[in-house]
């Protein structure tokens, strides 16, 4: 019944969808197997994409020809550029999305990719011969053969849902868990662990008194994620802000004895930066209130997501506490919040292509690797997908470096450091964040994947156009001059020193008190910039005004990359490094770094360990 596939992707969440799309589009006959075709691209938790550091990942995926950016733009109900008060390297796009539309759009994209088949079934085992992947086994008894397999099982592997003292098996509430696969992987020699995450209750929007809440509107100008021209929503939905209070906390505490978090039923670690409300009350007991965001779930539903109120307390306690919150006095609950425990596989078992070190042709992406977040999952899905495809075609892997992308930082962190708790991306995890901006993701990444056929004509044109325009704009900065009488009033008004003579625009715009668009306006230079896109002008401005810092980071990155080029043979015998501590040796043996750069980033490895390693490598 099944053809021979080059790549099989197991799971249809954010990781699986990107993996299947990129694999098929880069030329491999691909099969996506999902337990439920109604939930492809499902947003299991909050109906939002992007955010600080995460928004950059979505932009990167778009630049690489992935779909997360387009799907987000097409299902967007609100857009905000976060961190606007900070430097431009820190700006981060974030969108609220229509949950149902998001999933529908993903399915539409996948169904239109030639080379990609979709099948609904559950994978219960892998077919492996001599440590090489051959295919998968399904619950309906099919043996489906393939050259490469990508596992993106999310929270489904032996998923166990907790609400108060109730426990039910499932990968999401109302959906079955996946069984058999973990046991199969352990038999093959993989190490596994358990993690936990949670989600807040969903509310009936008709029962909320919005008059009492603080409104949070979207940006006036919707930039979106994709570098392509995706139509933006004509109007935007608002979010609302409210707070918990002492009374809410007291009410929640009534259920603590039945909380699986506190009575020891859940042992596994949850995401530190996305704690449940009971965790927050406990850990930050000096705070008398916590902020909550009321987020709409879409255009065609009243359903509301209450961000900041993730909980696994008994439903009636959740309900009682919700009604003590300002604006929610008469609230009705559509679904309760819950916690979920699931299996993951410590990611130090992977190499930088996301292939497992144990089984050739087997790739892991998403929460199975211990990460949290749609964007983190999608980023890994893309890399696992393209590399599965390249493996099936017997081509060299596609690796993104730390100085090229947040996706590169994410994967390098996972494979060299592993993670004990769900891993979330932050800008502070990247050492080159002035290079890794959201505005230049296309310039950084689009050319990298042209050889794989992932950049269509439309995107290539957009890329070339933007690149040319950025250059033109910088040339104009250097060419155009500013007269003192045009700008001095503006400067004085902003406590700047007035100009004494004619100066190039390139020089004047470096002043911190100046806004480039004001400067162009004041000096009647608008006509010169007519042909330049707003986004290109902004990138040009950043490139020019930050050039000293950009250069500095590029220099450091180049130095760092020299270590990446010092390869360590995979069969290297660490036992002969008798001069280093047993602990360091064990770490090297377990992680098997591919190069000195990776070896250096393994936590607990000392500089002297690296010196010795270098000596043995003949350096």
Which residues contact other proteins by CB under 8 A?
A: 51-53, 82-83, 85-90, 94, 273, 290-291, 308, 426-428, 434, 510, 512, 545, 549, 576, 578-581, 606, 608-609, 611-612, 615-616, 618
Of 250, 218, 201, 241, give the one whose Cα is nearest residue 327.
241
C-beta closer to other proteins: residue 495 or 527: 495
The alpha-carbon radius of gyration of the chain (Å, integer) is 26
Shortest distance (Å) from residue 253 CB to other proteins = 19
* Token pair belonging to 274: 């996305």
Contact between residue 424 and residue 269 where contact means Cβ atoms under 8 Å apart = no
Rounded (10°) CA dihedral 182, 183, 187, 192:
40
Of 180, 162, 160, 182, give the one whose Cα is nearest residue 170.
160
| Secondary structure of residue 441 in the 3-state scheme | helix
Contact between residue 147 and residue 7 where contact means Cβ atoms under 8 Å apart = yes
Shortest distance (Å) from residue 426 CB to other proteins = 4
Shortest distance (Å) from residue 268 CB to other proteins = 23
C-beta closer to other proteins: residue 474 or 612: 612
Rounded (10°) CA dihedral 367, 596, 427, 468:
-110
Shortest distance (Å) from residue 618 CB to other proteins = 7
Strand 503-504 vs strand 30-34: parallel, antiparallel, or unpaired? unpaired
CA dist 425 and 362 (Å) reads 24
C-beta closer to other proteins: residue 56 or 103: 56
Of 206, 130, 32, 96, give the one whose Cα is nearest residue 361.
130
* Token pair belonging to 115: 């080379």
C-beta closer to other proteins: residue 235 or 428: 428
Phi-psi region of 233 (alpha: psi -120 to 50; beta: other; left: phi over 0): beta
Strand 160-163 vs strand 303-307: parallel, antiparallel, or unpaired? unpaired
Shortest distance (Å) from residue 542 CB to other proteins = 10
C-beta closer to other proteins: residue 89 or 137: 89
Shortest distance (Å) from residue 305 CB to other proteins = 16
Shortest distance (Å) from residue 544 CB to other proteins = 12
C-beta closer to other proteins: residue 70 or 277: 277
CA dist 40 and 34 (Å) reads 8
* Token pair belonging to 103: 């999933």
Shortest distance (Å) from residue 612 CB to other proteins = 6
Residue owning tokens 């599965």:
388
C-beta closer to other proteins: residue 273 or 299: 273
Residue owning tokens 């004085």:
492
CA dist 614 and 38 (Å) reads 53
Of 164, 184, 436, 416, give the one whose Cα is nearest residue 312.
164
C-beta closer to other proteins: residue 295 or 315: 295
CA dist 503 and 484 (Å) reads 8
C-beta closer to other proteins: residue 472 or 581: 581
C-beta closer to other proteins: residue 52 or 388: 52
Shortest distance (Å) from residue 616 CB to other proteins = 6
C-beta closer to other proteins: residue 23 or 438: 438
| Secondary structure of residue 287 in the 3-state scheme | coil
Of 467, 469, 503, give the one whose Cα is nearest residue 488.
503
Q: Can you give the length of the chain in residues?
A: 619
Shortest distance (Å) from residue 371 CB to other proteins = 16
Shortest distance (Å) from residue 256 CB to other proteins = 21
């Amino acid at each position: 019944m099944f053809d021979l596939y080059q790549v099989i992707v197991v799971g249809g969440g954010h990781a699986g969808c990107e993996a299947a799309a990129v694999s098929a589009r880069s030329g491999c006959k691909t099969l996506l197997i999902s337990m439920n075709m109604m939930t492809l691209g499902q947003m299991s938790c909050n109906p939002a994409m992007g955010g600080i550091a995460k928004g950059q990942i979505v932009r990167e995926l778009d630049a690489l020809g992935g779909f997360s950016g387009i799907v987000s733009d097409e299902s967007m109900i609100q857009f905000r550029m976060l961190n606007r008060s900070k430097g431009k390297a820190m700006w981060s796009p974030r969108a609220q999305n229509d949950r149902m539309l998001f999933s529908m759009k993903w399915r539409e994209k996948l169904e239109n990719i030639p080379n990609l088949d979709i099948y609904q079934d559950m994978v219960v085992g892998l077919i492996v011969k001599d440590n090489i992947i051959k295919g998968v086994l399904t619950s309906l008894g099919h043996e489906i053969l393939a050259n490469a397999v990508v596992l993106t099982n999310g929270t489904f592997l032996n998923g166990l849902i907790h609400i108060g003292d109730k426990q039910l098996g499932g990968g999401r509430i109302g959906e079955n868990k996946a069984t058999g696969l973990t046991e199969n992987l352990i038999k093959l020699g993989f190490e596994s662990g358990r993690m936990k995450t949670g989600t807040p209750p969903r509310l009936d929007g008709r029962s909320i008194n919005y008059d009492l809440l603080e409104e949070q509107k979207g940006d006036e100008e919707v930039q979106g994620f994709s570098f392509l021209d995706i139509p933006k929503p004509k109007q935007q939905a608002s979010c609302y802000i409210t707070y918990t209070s002492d009374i809410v906390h007291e009410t929640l505490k009534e259920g603590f004895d039945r909380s699986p978090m506190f009575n020891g039923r859940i042992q596994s670690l949850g995401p530190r930066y996305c704690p449940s409300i009971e965790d927050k009350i406990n850990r930050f007991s000096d705070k008398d209130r916590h902020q909550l965001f009321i987020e709409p779930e879409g255009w065609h539903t009243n359903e509301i997501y209450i961000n900041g109120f993730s909980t696994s307390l008994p439903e009636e306690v959740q309900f009682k506490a919700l009604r003590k919150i300002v604006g929610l006095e008469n609230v009705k609950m559509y679904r309760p919040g819950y916690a979920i425990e699931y299996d993951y596989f410590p990611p130090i078992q992977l190499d930088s292509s996301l292939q497992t070190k144990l089984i050739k042709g087997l790739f892991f992406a998403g929460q199975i690797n211990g990460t949290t977040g749609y964007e983190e999952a999608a980023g890994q899905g893309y890399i696992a997908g393209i590399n599965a495809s390249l493996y099936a075609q017997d081509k060299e892997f596609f690796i993104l470096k730390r100085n090229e992308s947040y996706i590169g930082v994410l994967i390098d962190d996972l494979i060299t450091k592993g993670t004990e708790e769900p891993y979330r991306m932050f800008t502070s995890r990247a050492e080159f964040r002035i290079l890794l901006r959201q505005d230049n993701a296309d310039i950084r990444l689009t050319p990298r994947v042209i050889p794989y056929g992932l950049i269509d004509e439309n995107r290539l044109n957009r890329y070339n156009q933007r690149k040319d325009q950025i250059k033109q704009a910088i040339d104009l900065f250097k060419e155009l001059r500013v007269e003192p009488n045009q700008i001095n009033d503006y400067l004085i008004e902003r406590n700047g020193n007035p100009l004494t003579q004619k100066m190039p625009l390139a020089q004047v715009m470096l002043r911190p008190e100046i806004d480039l668009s004001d400067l162009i306006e004041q000096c009647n230079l608008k006509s010169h910039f007519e042909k330049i896109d707003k986004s290109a002008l902004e990138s040009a401005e950043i490139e020019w005004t930050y050039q000293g810092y950009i250069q500095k980071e590029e220099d450091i990155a180049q130095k760092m990359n020299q270590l990446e080029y010092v390869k360590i043979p995979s069969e290297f015998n660490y036992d002969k490094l008798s001069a280093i501590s047993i602990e360091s040796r064990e770490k090297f043996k377990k992680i098997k770094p591919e190069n000195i750069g990776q070896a250096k980033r393994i936590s607990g490895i000392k500089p002297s360990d690296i010196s010795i390693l270098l000596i043995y490598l003949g350096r």
